[in-house]
Chains A and B, each alone.
Chain A
Amino acid sequence: MKNKYDVLIIGGGPAGALAGRTAAEKGLSACIVEKRPAIGAPVRCAEGIGQEALHEFIDPDPRWISAEMQGAGIVAPDGFLMKLESEMAGGKVGYVLDRKFFDRELVWKAAEAGADVAVKSRAAAPIMEDGVLKGAKIEYCGKVTNVRADVVIAADGVESKFSKWCGIDTTVPVREIMSSVQYVMADIDIDQHSTIFYLGNDVAPEGYLWIFPKGHRTANVGIGISGKKSGQGHRAKDYLDRFVKKTFPNGKTIEYIPGGVSVCRPLDCTVADNFLITGDAARVVDPLTGGGIYNAMYTGRLAAEVAADCISKGDTSKKALMVYDKTWRASKMGKAIERNYHIKEYLIKQPDAKLNEIIHSVSKMNLKEFSTISLIKEIIRVNPKLVLELGALAASLR
């Protein structure tokens, strides 16, 4: 690690890795600092990603793909299963990744492109001069080094602190944190090519429970519930343990993964002078699905592209970097977040009876395009009165 880089990236997950790789490919000096001793571990993720979303960034490789998905199922509060299938027979619709190896691959590609990587290296404080960010104090094995940079990219995840230290409020509202637990389970009876989502206030209040297959008789079995609904005796772990005891009494848990997923709106502003915020740290998780891998890679890459352009023009002020903020908000991702935020707000207010009614209205769905939005559109098509309930939002869904 040197004392000066064009771009310093805080965090070695998908956002940081894409930022580092892109910056290096643009000819900039870049360094990714990761506080943990290993890239990719511990996993804090259900590991699902859509096929097209993944392909936009990297060609699939069996070394870090646990399983290929061909369909999905949604289980209503009353136990009724709605199956979702792709119209393309036998078509792949998505993947369940092996994040330990996936994250390593992304960082390896950044390193190969020329970025420096430092693990067990924590950004302990920003370097501020005249109120402007100039880099970060990096702590490694008890020694603190000042690392200066023209641009700092925060990619420090849900537990992000760097933006807060720079005066940007990143606090997630209690009702909009998904308090989550996941077990990687072995020796369980599952359909290994389908993800399953369980809805209902008794199963997962204001959230959902998932089974994401990782291969033959093995899956990520997890749950996220609203922080508002969490408390002593009724935490995410309590709900998951009850489900597992009933559904997979003989299953074996081979990994225990707690976590937090934000389902709030993104930060009001994701830039400051010499500073860009990406991925979970920018709260760009999809509020409906809780998915964040694609959004992290997209914002990480975009942040580095904008940083490179601004550095070449000699202006990395907030005003110049605002291109980043404006671009992602206007992107397909930005629009999906805004739209899905409204859908999430509608769904969490519905009683179980209403969820049952919606899900029963369609027993089996063949989707041309396998995405959340095509699912919502199809549900609205068969439930015309939903158009009235969704109000202005419905117009944007047609």
Chain B
Amino acid sequence: MAIEVKIPTILRTYTAGEKAVSAEGKTLSALIDDLEANHSGIKERLIDNGDLRRFVNVYINDEDVRFIGGLDAELKDGDQVVVLPAVAGGC
């Protein structure tokens, strides 16, 4: 089972510069664990206290995972996952 994960510029230090990597998992949580196994350190940038970081957006087939189960969102072969840090700030 292979799922393509698009990696944003800021996290490419964990993927040797690759813009996209392949990973496996039946849920987003499992997929992130699999990413971590091959790209050590990346999990901490995505997850904080057992939940997705507030300012990291993850999409499965263009759907924001926050609306489809968060870390429990289900994945299947051929799905495409995109990770994008929020563009945000405040005075």
Query: Is chain B a partner of chain A in the same complex?
Result: no
Interface residues of chain A, those whose CB is within 8 Å of chain B, are none
